[in-house]
Amino acid sequence: MHAYRAYMIPWDGHIIYRVDIECDDDEAAKERAKLLVDGHDVELWDGARKIAEFKTAHFKTAH
């Protein structure tokens, strides 16, 4: 097993939460990280190496 980190990033670009993921390889970690997308983007990292980024639809309200 290998340790990965998934960061939840809302529309303002600041990390709000981190989830530690343990998987056998990058592909398995990507599948798990995709499940975390829920109203915010998710970036998957292996140490200093960015593995993937998963985008969500951002809705802006008109003022």
List pLDDT tens digits, range 6-54. Answer: 999 998 999 999 999 999 999 999 999 999 999 899 999 999 999 999 9
Task: Tell me which residue has tokens 């985008």.
Answer: 55
The answer to whether residue 59 sits within a structural domain is: no
Domain region containing 37: 2-48
Q: Which residues contact 42 (CB under 8 A, 6 or more apart)?
A: 6, 7, 8, 9, 33, 34, 36, 53, 54
State how many domains the chain has. Answer: 1
* pLDDT band, very low/low/confident/very high, at 60 (cuts 50, 70, 90): low
Under DSSP, is residue 26 helix (H, G, I), strand (E, B) or coil?
A: helix
pLDDT of residue 11: 87
The answer to whether residue 55 sits within a structural domain is: no
The answer to whether residue 15 sits within a structural domain is: yes
The answer to whether residue 60 sits within a structural domain is: no
